[in-house]
Amino acid sequence: MSILVGLFLVFAKLSLFSFGGGFVMVPIAMADMEANHWATAAELTDTVAIATMSPGPIGVNLAVGLGYKVAGINGAMAALAGITIPVTILLFLVAMFFFKIYKHPIVTSSFYGLRPVVTALIMYAAVSLALKNYIILADADKMLASGYNIVLNGVHYFELKSLVIFLVSLAVLSGTKVSPVFCIIFSGIIGVILF
């Protein structure tokens, strides 16, 4: 199977089964990219950051960014087709029937069941990215060389500077109306200064 067909199929799967938005795609995309040896965890993290702060839907931005990383402009086009075509067809089909049944108790209950799963997927993506980027629980040979690694009894728990950036970003995003884009840009600048 060619890499372009593979990219199309991976992102077609993501577009059909990622209920809850672009961040829900991240853990599935990570698993597929790593299984096919198309991207490392660091490259995925960088692409997620760029996709998040770029204008437009994160899912489309992520597909284009990862497709381009894997196979250049043709990869970006294959991933874009994969992320948009299946969901567009599905959206037309759902739109024909959804407004007739959306108040049905089974439909309402299914959405209540999906909400905690979406939350869990987003949290899983965050923890997985932290593990794979050696921010928490890194092996001794993979700790961030320019970081303040907190190690007790031979176990690496976390990298302090990254944790502080995370906590400050979380506080700002939770407690203010600051746009996530400004938070990402500011965190990038802080990263250049600290690391």
| 8 and 45 belong to one structural domain | yes
> How buried is residue 34: exposed, middle or buried, by Cβ count under 10 Å (0-12/13-18/19+)?
middle
* pLDDT for 4: 93
* pLDDT for 1: 61
| 146 and 109 belong to one structural domain | no
| 128 and 140 belong to one structural domain | no
Domain that holds residue 90: 1-133
pLDDT in tens, 23-77: 778 888 888 888 999 988 888 888 888 888 888 888 899 999 999 999 999 999 9
Distance in angstroms (rounded) separating the CA atoms of residues 9 and 82: 6
| 106 and 67 belong to one structural domain | yes
* Percent of the residues in the chain that have a pLDDT greater than 90, as a whole number: 32
pLDDT in tens, 67-99: 999 999 999 999 999 999 998 998 888 888 877
Q: What are the structure tokens assigned to 103, written together?
A: 């108040």
The total of other beta-carbon atoms located within 10 Å of residue 126's CB is 14
| CB contact set of 169 (below 8 Å; sequence gap of 6+) | 183, 187
The count of domains in the chain is: 2
Q: What is the CA 140 to chain-centroid distance, rounded?
A: 26
| 42 and 89 belong to one structural domain | yes
* pLDDT for 46: 87
| Domain end (from 113, 133, 153) | 133
Q: Does the pLDDT value for residue 169 go beyond 90?
A: yes
Q: Does the pLDDT value for residue 12 go beyond 90?
A: yes
3-state secondary structure of 150: strand
Q: Does the pLDDT value for residue 9 go beyond 70?
A: yes
From 56, 30, 59, select the one nearest 45 (Cα to Cα). Answer: 30
| 83 and 2 belong to one structural domain | yes
Residue 20 confidence class, pLDDT cut points 50, 70, 90: low
| 102 and 190 belong to one structural domain | no
**Would you list the DSSP string of 6-55?**
HHHHHHHHHHHH-TT-HHHHHHHHHHHHHHTTS--HHHHHHHHHHHHHSS
Greater model confidence, 193 or 155:
193
| 140 and 125 belong to one structural domain | no
| 32 and 77 belong to one structural domain | yes
* pLDDT for 158: 87
| 86 and 110 belong to one structural domain | yes
Greater model confidence, 43 or 102:
43
Greater model confidence, 82 or 180:
82
Q: Does the pLDDT value for residue 184 go beyond 90?
A: no
| 99 and 127 belong to one structural domain | yes
Greater model confidence, 148 or 172:
172
Mean pLDDT of the chain: 87
* pLDDT for 137: 85
